[in-house]
Amino acid sequence: MTAAISFAGVSRHFGDVRAVDGVNLKIGEGEFFALLGPSGSGKTTCLRLIAGFEQPTEGSVSIFGDDATQMPPYRRPVNTVFQDYALFPHLNVRDNVAYGLMVRGDAKAARRAAADEALALVALGGYGDRKPSALSGGQRQRVALARALVMQPKVLLLDEPLGALDLKLREQMQTELKSLQRQLGIAFVFVTHDQGEALSMADRVAVFNEGRIQQVGSPQDVYDRPETPFVADFVGASNVLPAELVARLTGTSAPASLRPEAISVGDGPLTGAVESQSFLGAATRIEVNCNGLVVKMLLPKANPVPRVGETVSLTWPSEALHVMEHANG
Amino acid sequence: MASSAPISDALWRRPNLLLFLLVTPPLLWLGIVYLGSLFALLAQSFFSIDEFSGLINYEFTLKTYSELLRASNFDILLRTIAMASAVTIAAAIVAFPIAYYAARYATGRWKAVFYLGVMLPLWSSYLVKVYSWKLILAKEGILNWLFETLHLAWLLEAYLAIPVLGGNSLSVSWTGTFLVFLYVWLPFMILPVQASLERVPPSMLEASGDLGARPGQTLRHVILPLALPGIIAGSIFTFSLTMGDYIIPQIVGTSARMIGQAVYQFQGTAGNLPLAAAFAVVPIVVMGIYLTLAKRAGAFNAL
């Protein structure tokens, strides 16, 4: 199977800054793929390398097996939904959506019909005559989506697509994007710094840090079996136990991750004083200081909550401790 | 606590009073001095002059306006409007790449160099610049010397032989007047165009390319429409400044007059204030028509 997108040893340097550093990556056809990482980790630069807004300093980018390294953006079979939507303010919604068809030279009636169809797909039928400035944030994003989809791209790129929306709208759009992707069957590549978003939407996730890929895998893999302390901490704010402690507990000298929700109060190997607690609604988060190692735990609502200052012993099921044997740090 | 700043406190409690105090002096200035003189001018243009006594006849008449249509006067209007149009179009063409570079690529030090380069000529006297140009364009000037050194004197002579555009030398030709106008008003075109381009986010140009537009198409369908309000703003300056100027065509160019010179002569030596006023109304009317057409053509849609 040819990959929809493939990166071979791709680096992008800006002066001394290695925004992307030796990335190898394959994204399959019809895959919902997330590039996850903190800001400045190189995930957005990777997306821009696929779109063609950046050229790699080293390595090559292929799209469906064709080398696209030197291909300008307007020749690539991919389309982008921009973080700020980048709608053209001087055109109405329909002309915005039809823009790609217009520059391609489609007849006016044909592109009008295609634009209206794409607007109906994103539930904005009847909004064609409005100006983008007359729409809400969520509606603008749907217009940006329709404008990209009307080009029938082989890969759709989304740059922090939900970042500017409020919580309720974001959850709704997550579901809609997911079903849209299934319906169209094309690859969606989206950039996000929100691990919850990446885990809930993506088929596979690539976790970025400092220009490098830390781990690629399914959401379950990345969450349950992090390969590096960074992934453990960034995806789901796991506890990272140092190698010496893990050696004492399991006999293997390597750092290990321990999910906060897997820990409970009871007779266990770690003991410490409760440092803080914060009520989150469905659960309470507690930080326990065990000889300088601050262990985060998440207690579901039904459990009794220890007071701050109280000394507690912590326990967890043995399979919850994931030893990161290949971690370099 | 005793109030140590009673005026600040009083004004804070009555923000409308503050606004009134701030706005009244400039409004009085604009209302009386500026609009008042404009109306006085407009009123003058509806009076006429008694040809025998030379006295102004203070009765409403359109006779003065009909005089504008006399061949010698009408030529002045056409000539001025043609010159202002040519200067405006050329300024837009020359200014756009400079403004585009400054808005898109120049950062830090280069941005400072840009602003300095554009503004610096405005710091020196307008007369100094115009006389410098007279020297540059004169028969013994640097431009002639350059053409001769490059063995291209024949080219300059061929150009000067063209009727209307040419003449004895560049400094006494319409081309010379045009070049000086273009130079003197160029900053007034560059700055608004640069400001309008500055407001176009880079992602918008990327989006255009992403949707399949070649750079030329992006320029035509995205950059130019979004820069149009700036170009229109700049053209208001270049167009109206050219139409009203009476010094440049007097120093550089032919003896044929432009509107500014006509106004100067009719209100001064000729003592025909009504006709001078009627001439002065023409640029106002032309600008009004121009802006109406621009608005109707959608030039301000991107605002």
Number of compact structural domains in chain A? 2
CB contact under 8 A, B203 and A151: no
Query: Is A89 within 8 Å of chain B by CB?
Result: yes
Cβ neighbours, 10 Å, residue A62: 18
Q: A13-40, pLDDT tens digit by residue? A: 999 999 999 999 999 999 999 999 999 8
pLDDT at B55: 83
Q: Is the same domain home to A206 and A298?
A: no
Residues of A in contact with B214 (CB under 8 A): 74, 103
8 Å CB contact between A261 and A285: no
**A143 domain-assigned:** yes
What is the residue range of A205's domain? 3-231
The proportion of chain A whose per-residue pLDDT surpasses 70, expressed as a percent, equals: 98
Beta-bridged to residue A265, according to DSSP, are A314
What distance separates the 2 farthest-apart alpha carbons in chain B? 87
Q: Is the same domain home to A246 and A191?
A: no
pLDDT at B250: 93
Residues in CB range of B67: below 8 A, 6 or more apart: B73, B275, B278
8 Å CB contact between A255 and A263: no
Which among B203, B212, B217 has CB closest to A151?
Answer: B212
Q: Is the same domain home to A161 and A70?
A: yes
Cα separation, A115 vs A101, in Å, equals 9
**A306 domain-assigned:** yes
Chain A nearest CA to B223, separation (Å): 10
**pLDDT at A328 exceeding the cut of 70:** no
Domain termination site, one of A166, A201, A231: A231
Q: Is the same domain home to A220 and A304?
A: no
**pLDDT at B3 exceeding the cut of 70:** no
Chain A nearest CA to B207, separation (Å): 7
- CATH assignment, B63-302: 1.10.3720.10
| Touching B: A residues 236-265, CB under 8 Å | none
Is A87 or B56 the better-scoring residue by pLDDT? A87
| Touching B: A residues 38-77, CB under 8 Å | 51-53, 72-74
Q: Work out the pLDDT band at B302, boundaries 50, 70, 90.
A: low
Exposure on the CB side of residue B279, measured as CA atoms within 13 A: 29
Cα separation, B180 vs B121, in Å, equals 13
Cα separation, A180 vs A196, in Å, equals 19
Residues in CB range of B251: below 8 A, 6 or more apart: B130, B131, B134
Nearest to B86 by CA among B187, B160, B180: B180
Residues in CB range of A234: below 8 A, 6 or more apart: A36, A37, A38, A195, A207, A209
- Domain with A291 in it: what CATH number? 2.40.50.140
Query: Is B45 within 8 Å of chain A by CB?
Result: no
CB contact under 8 A, B210 and A147: no
**A87 domain-assigned:** yes
pLDDT at B279: 92
Residues of B in contact with A80 (CB under 8 A): 206-207, 210
pLDDT at B2: 58
Q: Could you give the 3-state DSSP secondary structure of residue A32? A: strand
**pLDDT at B83 exceeding the cut of 50:** yes
**pLDDT at B269 exceeding the cut of 80:** no
Q: Is the same domain home to A111 and A94?
A: yes
**pLDDT at A1 exceeding the cut of 80:** no
8 Å CB contact between A162 and A172: no
Cα separation, B92 vs B38, in Å, equals 29
Domain termination site, one of A187, A213, A231: A231
pLDDT at B303: 60
Highest averaged pLDDT of the listed ranges A1-5, A198-202, B4-8: A198-202
With tokens 């009317």, the residue in question is B285
Q: Is the same domain home to A302 and A194?
A: no
What's the mean pLDDT when you consider all of chain B?
A: 90
CB contact under 8 A, B212 and A104: yes
Highest averaged pLDDT of the listed ranges A178-187, A233-242, B83-92: B83-92
| Touching A: B residues 223-242, CB under 8 Å | 225-226
- Give residue limits of the domains in chain B: 5-44, 63-302
8 Å CB contact between A122 and A145: yes
Domain termination site, one of A183, A205, A231: A231
**pLDDT at B116 exceeding the cut of 50:** yes
Q: Is the same domain home to A282 and A194?
A: no
Q: Is the same domain home to A70 and A204?
A: yes
Q: Is the same domain home to A159 and A210?
A: yes
**A328 domain-assigned:** no
Query: Is A14 within 8 Å of chain B by CB?
Result: no
pTM recorded for the entire structure = 0.82
Q: Is the same domain home to A100 and A73?
A: yes
pLDDT at A329: 44
**Rounded to whole angstroms, what are the CA distances from B199 to A301, B195, B204, B205, B232?**
51, 7, 11, 12, 16
Cα separation, B258 vs B84, in Å, equals 10
Q: Work out the pLDDT band at A60, boundaries 50, 70, 90.
A: very high
Is B268 or A157 the better-scoring residue by pLDDT? A157
In this structure, of A48-52, A153-157, A237-241, the range with the lowest mean pLDDT score is A237-241
Q: Is the same domain home to A69 and A207?
A: yes
- Domain with A49 in it: what CATH number? 3.40.50.300
Cα separation, A100 vs A34, in Å, equals 26
Which among B207, B217, B225 has CB closest to A90?
Answer: B225
Q: Is the same domain home to A180 and A307?
A: no
Chain B nearest CA to A111, separation (Å): 14
